[in-house]
Structure 1
């Protein structure tokens, strides 16, 4: 479906490169159908050498090239970018935005055209094709556009379609979630070291334990509570450890973390739109 589409990736940081690489590794398109942009020529040299795609520092050139425009810039710079490119945007072009805090209707209003706009919130494991992304459709996005965006995102992980009002929750759960899990891995590793394991051994065991446990939940569809019960025996070491975690509030802390991150995302959304004066256009 994507094979003949021309794709521009504006901004080739970690997430932009992850999507570029995912498209090519999944053989969804050929390198000549992609153009990547960045402010840094050295970065573009690296991208061109690694992925054999077209590159440019000229965002106008990239927009004119594309059927699909994937915007992967920092949200603080979105007004300048949109001001530059909106005269060249054609209404049939699909805009996929990876912009924390910037709503689809804000983009549509600012460019003043009826382009299909799709907003995506991926997370950092996309760089190893194991991401979790939330995706919502703008006013003019139709099912074909949804299919295209899902195909692109599935090249680097899993995708969930949500209402735009839930995108801040996506940020609080899966967007920020890897940081919570890294802390869990770090703490388990430190526990192993404290009890006598070499750090490299403890790190490998902690990492594989988290990876394997997640895979078991995903592949079996069994509720995590039931899987937890399967590894606890009466009076055993696991139930004793679980009791300690309950005493110190592991579950309410994680729930609260998602809540706090969601609320902060909502605050930042308002701040970013006000900072960019996008609501006044």
Structure 2
């Protein structure tokens, strides 16, 4: 019997497994992926035995992660619904699929956790937001559920009505941050810095700035003002970002992601 079974082993599933492996043994895991080449690669890299089918995986796992693309969620749920038992816990990571929809496919008594993790789980710095019905779990299970997500980063429990808004803010946002880091590094290279140094300077600055917000609990605007000396270089750069609609572009991009999330379900 496996503790964790993953249907799909793409970037997100892989990141979560890598995070969970830091506090669980290889024998606690199995997975199924439609690509045999991908399955062989993961087995050789992580030392985790794949299951021969989704049905076999579900039958032998307690926590079942649906780590496939949203577009094939319905197909997967139709395939496994006959194998879902009362002691299973199904964990979704796809945007747009609420718990009611998942229960409609898998059965009204299915225990479902709706989650939105992100890929920094790979390095133990994930940000996961989850929602579930407390009355479906024992106190020990609730504690275990929290420990699962805390094992690869930070975790917050929210009301399901807020879940779609989480997707653009923490689920998708690593992509925006990577673009920001890449743009800063490209600028550094254009000014003569070596590429590796430019990436390190930009990445560490983003990491340190995020920690400043979290650990000082100061308003981001206050921290920004502290860097902007009168007539200095930083305020000059901030002025250009404001002129080019930096904040507006970020807000509109996140609204687009939110709109897409609502359509996916």
| TM-score (normalised: structure 1) | 0.85
Task: State the partner residue of 2:8.
Answer: 11
Task: State the partner residue of 2:115.
Answer: 120
SS at match of 2:207: helix
Closer/same/farther in 2, CA of residues 211 and 41 from structure 1, 3 Å limit: same
Q: Is the 8 A contact 1:118 1:149 kept in 2?
A: no
Residues 53-64 of structure 1 mapped to structure 2, 5 A cutoff: 53-64=48-59
Aligned counterpart for 1:172 among listed residues 155, 161, 168? 168
Q: Is the 8 A contact 1:91 1:115 kept in 2?
A: yes
CA distance in 2, matches of 1:97, 1:61: 19
C-alpha RMSD of the superposition? 2.2
CA displacement at 1:203 relative to structure 2 = 2.3
CA displacement at 1:141 relative to structure 2 = 4.0
Q: Is the 8 A contact 1:38 1:57 kept in 2?
A: no
Unpaired segments ≥5 residues, structure 2: none
CA distance in 1, matches of 2:136, 2:76: 21
Unpaired segments ≥5 residues, structure 1: 270-281
SS at match of 1:55: coil
CA distance in 2, matches of 1:200, 1:170: 32
CA displacement at 1:194 relative to structure 2 = 3.2
Task: State the partner residue of 1:131.
Answer: 126
Aligned counterpart for 1:238 among listed residues 234, 241, 247? 234
Q: Is the 8 A contact 1:8 1:62 kept in 2?
A: yes
CA displacement at 1:43 relative to structure 2 = 2.2
SS at match of 1:96: strand
CA displacement at 1:89 relative to structure 2 = 1.1
Q: How many residues align?
A: 264
CA displacement at 1:65 relative to structure 2 = 0.8
Residues 145-184 of structure 1 mapped to structure 2, 5 A cutoff: 145-184=141-180
Residues 15-34 of structure 1 mapped to structure 2, 5 A cutoff: 15-25=12-22, 27=23, 29-34=24-29
Q: Is the 8 A contact 2:124 2:153 kept in 1?
A: yes
Q: Is the 8 A contact 1:105 1:139 kept in 2?
A: no
Q: What are the Cα deviations for residues 58-116 of structure 1, in whole angstroms up to 9, with x where unaligned?
A: 11111111222111112222222222221121112111111222111111122224121
**48-57 or 89-98, larger mean C-alpha shift:** 48-57
